[in-house]
Amino acid sequence: MKKKIAMRHAKPEDTGIIFEFIKELAEYEKLLHEVTTTEEQLKKTLFSTEYAKVLIAEYEGETAGIALYFHSYSTFLGKPGIYLEDLFVKEQFRGNGIGRALLKKLANICLENDFGRLEWSVLDWNKPAVDFYESLEAKSQNEWIKYRVDGESLKELAEN
């Protein structure tokens, strides 16, 4: 018998669950020390200002995975898109099609809204994720170098 995967958009009362997933993802990526957000901050930015949205996947009634995303824009296409910031499935639920179901839902949101693309980043050492994405025929964008300014560098850029 096929196991049931349910998908829904997060509500404010899911903030604690989202926060736990963020910390689990950060731990997996060896970046837990960089997590400075709080549940209060998440609730504000996800539900009051809606800077991002979260899909929650449940497997047999248990919260199993999340996809946190926001809208991007392509000047070349002249269309919005979706940037997937975080995709995380709890270890005990991996291999059950949950990651694929989350990406499929995001792809459907793109098509329903005439968006031009769905994109994301993955750490180069995360071979299981790279293999998974390539199995979906996702194409890596190796010609692009990602840059970031944050913390003190962000303050210095703004001031100087």
Does 51 qualify as catalytic in the annotation? no
Q: For residues 137 and 27, give the distance between their C-alpha atoms in angstroms, rounded to a whole number.
A: 27
Neighbours of 132 (CB within 10 A): 18
Report the candidate in 54, 11, 67, 18 with the shortest Cα–Cα distance to residue 39.
18
Other beta carbons less than 10 A from residue 82's beta carbon:
22
Q: Choosing from 28, 51, 73, 133, which is the catalytic residue?
A: 133
Contact 93, 52 (CB under 8 A): no
Report the C-alpha gap between 78 and 26 in whole angstroms: 33
DSSP H or E run through 64: strand 62-74
Residues annotated as catalytic are 133
